Homo-oligomer: A and B are copies of this chain.
């Protein structure tokens, strides 16, 4: 006889109900492969009557998920409420304290409280699984923890947000504006009604913080990391980038430089021929650079119902198999605390678009500012708009320090010919 394992699902929206359905469908194979019989005994949701893919059986419904941790018969609690604080936070903390295994798709929660939650799970000898929280369809977390365990990894980077990647690649392929493409994305379900945390980079930042901690065996970075979104990317810049052989992508990058950690999320110009340059649409892709394994690339759908529920089932099977795993593959007592690398000392080449008045002496005035800041120009395109007496100056620079770009920027903004805040996008050589 297979041992029965009792599950409670907290949060029964699209993900919850799809997970429930997929589990019913794959139950036989789950039982065969884990030797345990999972039983969803309780489901909590704010609204019992809401129209769903699956109706909540009356016998399973419990309004308040915060009752779950104290219920003796529950083995696993699956948190699908979302949000870094509020009920989700209370539920997960309390579940682990009460020795319940937890599975969650909540990246905001893990990014914010992952250190504390991992130590709680370890102390209470239960599992905390969160494969669905980062790039759902890509088995990235388990691969780092289990398959790449013998490697020294110095860099992890990739496209971790499907919404912004869809928007940027559609702007390029369709030649449409940001706002136009955003409303298409909403219609297709690729962007949420309020896509703020996708667009401003916060979603990607949470994910790269989690991945950093896993690959560098360090505590999750608290507080701010460099995070810029795609809200200011215009079709104009995408078109210039294309002419110059680049694509614009929102990348998440974490690396060790001089034994310090630097994590950043920002739009990048990358070669059109590069691997990540060819990842279009809602796809996600992650590149891990390790020794001795070399470059490992994982690609797949990042979010959406299918990939997320697939990841949840894999987390469930991991718990059902029965051995306790450390949530970050290493004891909380042994995690390194990495110092932050000063972002101002980071070097990259960059793309600048400066809108100026079309007057004699402008170009020399602008290039003088570059020279003053010791920033060398690699390419320069001047594109006059005679009718409006304006011109766009597009510049690709050689590698320089973030600090110098900051100063350059201040000088440019003050220049009398410059009409608005220049566009500044870093170039990554991948």
Whether, in the assembled complex, A299 has its beta carbon less than 8 Å from a beta carbon of chain B, the answer is yes
Q: Judge whether B326 and A323 touch: CB under 8 Å.
A: no
User: Is A150 engaged at the interface, CB distance under 8 Å to the other chain?
Assistant: yes
Q: Bits for A309-332, please: 1 = Cβ < 8 Å to B, else 0.
A: 111111001100111011001110
Q: Is A105 an interface residue (CB 8 A)?
A: no
Q: Which residue of B lies closest to A313 (CB)?
A: B150
Contact at B300–A334, with CB atoms within 8 Å? no
Interface residues of A in 273-320 (CB under 8 A from B): 275, 278, 290-301, 304-307, 309-314, 317-318
For the complex, is A258 an interface residue (Cβ under 8 Å from B)? no
Assembled-state Cα–Cα distance A236/B331 (Å): 58
Q: What bracket does the count of chain A residues touching chain B fall in?
A: 35 or more
A149 and B295 in contact, given A32-B330, A330-B33 (Cβ under 8 angstroms): no
A306 closest partner in B (C-beta):
B292
Check: A26 CB closer than 8 A to any chain B CB: yes
Tell me whether A150 and B310 are in contact in the complex, defined as CB-CB below 8 angstroms, given that A299-B299, A323-B323 are known contacts: yes
The answer to whether A326 and B33 have CB atoms under 8 Å apart is: yes
B296 touching A137, Cβ below 8 Å? yes
Complex copy number for this chain: 2
Q: Given that A150-B30, A314-B147, A331-B32 are contacting pairs, would A294 and B306 also be in contact in the complex, using a CB cutoff of 8 Å?
A: yes
**A22 part of interface (Cβ distance < 8 Å):** yes
Is residue A109 within 8 Å, beta carbon to beta carbon, of the partner chain?
Answer: no
- Chain B residues within 8 Å of A330, by CB: 29, 32-33
Which of A138-146, A168-176, A226-234 makes up part of the contact surface? A138-146
The chain B residue with its CB closest to the CB of A137 is B293
Residues of B within 8 A of A23 (CB): 150
Contact B331 A138 (CB under 8 A): no
Q: A137-B293, A297-B300 are in contact. Are A142 and B146 (CB under 8 A)?
A: yes
Task: Tell which of B33, B149, B323 touches A329, judged by Cβ atoms closer than 8 Å.
Answer: B33
> Is the Cβ of A149 less than 8 Å from the Cβ of B217?
no
In the assembled complex, A151 has its CB within 8 A of some CB on chain B: yes
Interface string of A26-41 (1 = CB under 8 A from B): 1001101100000000
Interchain residue pairs A-B with the least CB separation, the first 9: A150-B313, A139-B147, A292-B306, A297-B299, A293-B310, A296-B300, A323-B323, A294-B301, A139-B143
Q: List 30 A-B contacts (CB under 8 A).
A: A18-B292, A22-B292, A23-B150, A26-B149, A29-B217, A32-B331, A131-B147, A137-B294, A139-B148, A142-B146, A142-B147, A143-B143, A143-B147, A146-B146, A148-B314, A150-B309, A150-B312, A150-B317, A151-B310, A292-B307, A293-B300, A293-B301, A293-B306, A293-B310, A294-B300, A294-B304, A295-B300, A297-B297, A297-B300, A323-B323
